[in-house]
Amino acid sequence: MLTRWLHLTARKKQQLNELFALNRRVTKAYLLKESLDRLWTYRYEGAMLRYLKSWIDQLRWQRLKCLRENYTRYL
């Protein structure tokens, strides 16, 4: 789960998709984790902060208490 989607083998992608089908919360958490990677592509601090605020807003709407507590503690 910690490996980026781009670096997974076809077999691992299939296994992860099967896991996603069983648990929607895992899917949400994984997608949020993947989308956070975009944060490091910004060149301007203001744009990066807007994206981070938007990402945190998305996290607040999810029912992922553990993930929300862990990320907001560090951010």
Q: Report the distance separating Cα 67 and Cα 73, nearest Å.
A: 10
Please check the confidence at residue 49 and state whether its pLDDT lies above 90: yes
CB atoms inside a 10 Å sphere around CB 59: 19
Q: What share of the chain has pLDDT > 70, as a percent?
A: 80
Mean pLDDT of 30-37: 84
Which pTM was predicted? 0.58
Please count the structural domains in the chain: 1
Question: 37: Cβ–Cβ under 8 A, 6 or more apart, which residues?
Answer: 4
How much is the pLDDT for 47? 94
Domain range holding 28?
Answer: 5-74
Taking alpha carbons only, the member of 3, 31, 56 closest to residue 23 is: 31
Question: 75: Cβ–Cβ under 8 A, 6 or more apart, which residues?
Answer: 52, 56
Please check the confidence at residue 4 and state whether its pLDDT lies above 80: no
